[in-house]
């Protein structure tokens, strides 16, 4: 146990987050995402939705201020511009953690898969809401 560190942040996750550099990409994905076959590095957080996982991660993870958008979301197939509840919840968590409005944008499903395959780390959650998949660009401290 570590003082003031969210208990969701296990040793493997903290190590990967610490190893990431400015501009590296973090994917936080739902239970339907093919994380095991896509990820270069994978950490699984069972029993956790994407918003809860992001809130914990964002206590130690700075979001980039040089790249816009620094937050990307998987959009619904054929209607990528629609902002779903899961998207709004994650956006609110990121904005709150950063103390600013963080620019975000949708990605088409297969473009999201392509970019997630290049992410430094994939954090798989058990988020049940569809299209609960996000990419965050790491900033500087």
User: Is 64 one of the catalytic residues?
Assistant: yes
Residue 107, Cα to own-chain centre: how many angstroms? Answer: 14
User: Is 89 one of the catalytic residues?
Assistant: no
Do 51 and 93 touch, CB atoms closer than 8 A? yes
DSSP β-ladder status, 25-29 and 42-44? unpaired
Do 41 and 118 touch, CB atoms closer than 8 A? no
Using the 8-state DSSP alphabet, how is residue 32 labeled? T
Of 112, 131, 133, 120, nearest in space to 26 by CA: 120
Catalytic residue among 30, 49, 64, 89: 64
> Any idea which residues carry the catalytic annotation?
22, 64, 113
């Amino acid at each position: 146990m570590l003082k003031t560190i969210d208990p969701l942040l296990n040793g493997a996750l903290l190590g990967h987050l610490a190893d990431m550099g400015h501009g590296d990409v973090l994917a936080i994905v739902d239970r339907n995402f093919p994380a095991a076959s896509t990820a270069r590095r994978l950490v699984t957080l069972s029993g956790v939705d994407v918003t809860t996982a992001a809130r914990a991660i964002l206590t130690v993870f700075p979001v980039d201020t040089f790249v816009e958008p620094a937050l990307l979301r998987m959009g619904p197939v054929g209607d990528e511009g629609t902002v779903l509840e899961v998207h709004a919840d994650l956006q609110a968590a990121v904005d709150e953690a950063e103390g600013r409005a963080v620019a975000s944008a949708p990605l088409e499903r297969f473009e999201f898969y392509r970019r997630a395959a290049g992410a430094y780390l994939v954090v798989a959650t058990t988020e049940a809401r569809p299209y609960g998949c996000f990419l965050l660009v790491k900033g500087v401290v």
